[in-house]
C-alpha cells in the first residue's frame, strides 16, 4: 500500500467531511457504534485468539468503545464544544473596533496508532479515532501488529457505517505493516496534521522526532510512560492496612498489570504499620495466579525488566506469585529505601506488568525528595484519612504537581470516560500535558481556532451567525449566552 495514496485520499475526503453538519456527523458516529455491536461475538473471538484477554474484559472494552462513540455523538449534537466567541463591532470607538468571531475547526487528516493493550478502546475505533471523527477530521488508522485481524474486523464495521451514513469513501482508512517504516511515512507525510499514539516511551519519542523534523512540524499526542505513584499516609496504614492491601493488590495485578495506570510505585514512611501493610500486600499479590500476557514480546519485556529491577542493589523482593508458565506474567512486590531510590534512576522507569516497588522513607523530607525526583505521571494517588489530609497538605500539594489526575482513596486503574476526565500529564506521561486522550476533552487535540473578521452573516459558519441557529452556548461581548 502506497502511503502517499492513502494520505492524499484522506485529504480529499477531509475537504468533504469537514463540511458535514454536526447532526449528520453525530449520526455517523452512532452508526459506527451500531455496526461494531452487530459483530461483537466475532470481535471477541478474534481478540481472544490474538491477545489472550478474557471474554469478559473484551466485552467490557467493546461496550466502552461504543459508549465513547455515543458520548462524542452527544457532544457534537449539543454543539457548544466549538467554543464560539463573538466580539461585536464598535464603529464609534477610537480606533473603530471590527466585528470578530472565533470558533474551533478541524485541522485536517489525523493518523492514529492502535494500542497493543486495548484492542478496542484505544485502537481502530477507540478514543483517538472517535474524537478525531467527532471534530470533523478524517482518520488513517495504523493497525497494531499484535492484533491485526481484530483491527481489520473493526475497520470493516466502520466501512459499513461510512456507506450507510453516506460519508466520503475514505473518511477512515486502515494500514498495516511491521517495523517503523509505515509509521514514519504516515507521520512525515505533508497531508498529516496530527498524530494519536498510545504505547511505549521509545515509540512515542520516535514519532515526536519524526513530526518535529518535518518542514511543517505537527503535534503528536502520545501517551507513553507512567509509574503512577501512590503515597500511603500514616493514619490510613494504621487503621486500614488489610483493606488497602486487598484493594491495591487487585490494582497492581489487574489485567496482569497491562494498564498505563498500573500503580508501579508505592511510597510510605518507615513504621511498623508500613511493614505490616507490605506483608499483607505481598501476600495478596502472591495469591494472584499468573495469567498470560497480551503477546510474547510484552511477556519477554516484562520478564527481563522484572529480573533487572530485582537485581538492583538494595531492592528486596517482598513476595511473588507462583512461578509462571509460558507467556504468563509473574506478579511481584519489591521494596527499597528512599536513599536507594533517589540514587538509582532505573527505579523510576516503568515496568509494564504486575509489579510494584515500595519505597520506604525515613521522614517527610525524604518523602518530599522522592516525589520531587519523579517525572510526569498520568496519575498520583493519595491514600489517607481526614487526619492525614489535614496534616500532610504540603506533601499532597507536591503530589498534585506531578500528574494529570490526582486521586484520593481509590486505586488508579479505573479511567472513566466522561467530560471531566484527564488522561494525560507532564512528559513523559504524554507529549503534551495540556490535553487528555480520554473523555470529551480529547476532541480539542484535532482542532485549531479560526477568527472571522468583518464577515457578513451569510458567510459565517452556523456556530457564529447572529441568530445562533444551532442554539449553542457562546461568549458574546464577554457574556455567556445561548
Q: Say whether 223 is catalytic.
A: yes
Residues whose CB falls within 8 Å of the CB of residue 382, separated by 6 or more in sequence, listed in order: 231, 233, 389, 396, 399, 406, 407, 408, 409
DSSP 189-256: STT--EEEEES-HHHHHHHHHHHHHSSS---EEEE------EEE-HHHHHHHHHHHHHHHHHHHHGGG
Flag whether pLDDT at 185 surpasses 70: yes
pLDDT exceeds 90 at position 6:
yes
Q: Calculate mean pLDDT across residues 344-371.
A: 97
CA 243 to mean position of chain CA atoms: 29
Split at pLDDT 50, 70, 90, the class of 1 is low
* Confidence (pLDDT) at 425: 97
Percent of the chain predicted with pLDDT > 90: 98
Q: Which residues, 6+ apart, have CB-to-CB distance to 287 below 8 Å?
A: 249, 321
For residues 61-90, give the mean pLDDT.
Answer: 98
Radius of gyration of the chain (CA): 24
Share of residues in the chain with pLDDT > 70 (%): 100
What would the mean pLDDT of 469-476 be, rounded to a whole number? 97
Tens digits of per-residue pLDDT, 291-311?
999 999 999 999 999 999 999
Beta-ladder partners of 140: 111, 173
Q: How confident is the model at residue 173 (pLDDT cuts 50, 70, 90)?
A: very high
| Given 35, 223, 320, 350, the catalytic residue | 223
Tell me how far apart the alpha carbons of residues 199 and 195 are, in angstroms, rounded to a whole number. Answer: 13
Look at strands 332-337 and 316-320 and give their pairing.
antiparallel
The three cell numbers locating residue 56: 469478559
Strands 479-481 and 265-269, bridge-based pairing: unpaired
Give the pLDDT confidence of 125-144 residue by residue, as tens digits. Answer: 999 999 999 999 999 999 99
Alpha carbon of 53 to those of 106, 118, 255, 345: distances in Å? 35, 10, 8, 32
pLDDT score recorded for residue 315:
98
Q: Is 345 exposed, middle or buried (0-12, 13-18, 19+ CB in 10 A)?
A: exposed
Residue whose C-alpha cell is 516525589: 371
**Model confidence at 179, in pLDDT bands (50, 70, 90)?**
confident
The tens digit of pLDDT for each residue in 378-404 reads 999 999 999 999 999 999 999 999 999
299 is catalytic: no
Catalytic residue among 260, 328, 350, 361: 260
Mean pLDDT of the chain: 97
pLDDT per position as a tens digit, 102-132: 999 999 999 999 999 999 999 999 999 999 9
Amino acid at each position: 500500500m502506497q502511503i502517499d495514496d492513502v494520505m492524499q485520499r484522506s485529504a480529499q475526503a477531509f475537504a468533504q467531511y469537514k463540511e458535514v453538519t454536526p447532526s449528520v456527523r453525530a449520526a455517523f458516529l452512532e452508526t459506527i457504534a451500531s455496526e461494531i455491536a452487530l459483530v461483537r461475538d466475532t470481535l471477541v473471538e478474534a481478540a481472544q485468539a490474538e491477545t489472550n484477554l478474557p471474554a469478559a474484559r473484551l466485552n467490557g472494552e467493546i461496550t466502552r468503545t461504543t459508549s465513547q462513540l455515543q458520548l462524542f455523538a452527544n457532544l457534537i449534537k449539543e454543539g457548544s464544544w466549538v467554543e464560539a466567541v463573538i466580539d461585536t463591532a464598535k464603529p464609534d470607538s477610537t480606533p473603530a473596533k471590527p466585528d470578530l468571531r472565533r470558533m474551533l475547526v478541524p485541522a485536517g487528516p489525523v493518523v492514529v496508532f492502535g494500542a497493543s493493550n486495548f484492542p478496542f478502546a484505544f485502537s481502530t475505533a477507540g478514543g483517538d479515532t472517535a474524537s478525531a471523527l467527532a471534530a470533523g477530521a478524517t482518520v488513517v488508522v495504523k493497525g497494531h501488529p499484535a492484533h491485526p485481524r481484530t483491527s481489520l474486523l473493526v475497520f470493516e464495521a466502520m466501512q459499513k457505517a461510512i456507506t450507510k451514513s453516506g460519508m466520503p469513501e475514505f473518511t477512515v482508512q486502515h494500514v498495516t505493516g511491521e517495523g517503523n517504516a509505515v509509521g514514519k511515512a504516515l507521520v512525515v507525510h505533508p497531508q498529516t496534521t496530527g498524530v494519536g499514539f498510545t504505547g511505549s516511551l521509545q515509540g512515542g519519542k520516535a514519532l515526536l522526532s519524526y513530526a518535529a523534523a518535518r518542514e511543517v512540524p505537527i503535534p503528536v499526542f502520545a501517551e507513553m510512560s507512567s509509574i503512577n505513584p501512590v503515597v500511603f499516609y500514616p493514619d490510613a496504614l494504621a487503621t486500614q492496612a488489610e483493606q488497602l492491601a486487598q484493594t491495591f493488590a487487585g490494582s497492581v495485578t489487574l489485567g496482569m498489570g497491562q494498564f498505563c495506570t498500573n500503580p508501579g510505585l508505592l511510597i510510605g514512611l518507615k513504621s511498623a504499620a508500613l511493614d505490616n501493610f507490605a506483608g499483607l500486600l505481598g501476600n495478596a499479590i502472591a495469591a494472584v495466579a499468573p495469567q498470560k500476557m497480551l503477546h510474547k514480546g510484552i511477556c519477554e519485556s516484562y520478564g527481563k525488566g522484572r529480573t533487572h529491577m530485582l537485581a538492583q542493589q538494595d531492592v528486596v523482593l517482598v513476595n511473588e506469585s507462583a512461578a509462571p508458565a509460558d507467556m504468563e506474567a509473574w506478579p511481584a512486590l519489591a521494596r527499597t529505601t528512599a536513599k536507594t531510590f533517589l540514587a538509582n534512576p532505573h527505579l523510576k522507569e516503568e515496568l509494564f506488568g504486575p509489579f510494584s516497588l515500595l519505597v520506604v522513607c525515613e521522614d517527610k523530607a525524604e518523602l518530599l525528595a522522592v516525589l520531587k525526583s519523579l517525572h510526569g505521571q498520568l496519575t498520583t494517588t493519595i491514600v489517607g484519612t481526614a487526619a492525614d489530609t489535614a496534616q500532610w497538605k504540603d506533601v499532597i500539594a507536591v503530589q498534585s504537581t506531578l500528574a494529570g489526575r490526582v486521586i484520593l482513596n481509590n486505586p488508579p486503574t479505573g479511567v472513566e470516560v466522561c467530560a471531566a476526565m484527564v488522561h494525560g500529564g507532564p512528559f513523559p506521561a504524554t507529549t503534551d500535558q495540556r490535553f487528555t486522550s480520554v473523555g470529551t476533552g480529547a476532541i480539542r487535540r484535532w482542532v485549531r481556532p479560526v477568527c472571522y473578521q468583518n464577515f457578513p452573516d451569510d458567510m459565517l459558519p452556523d456556530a457564529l451567525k447572529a441568530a445562533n441557529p444551532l442554539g449553542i452556548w457562546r461568549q458574546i461581548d464577554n457574556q455567556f449566552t445561548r
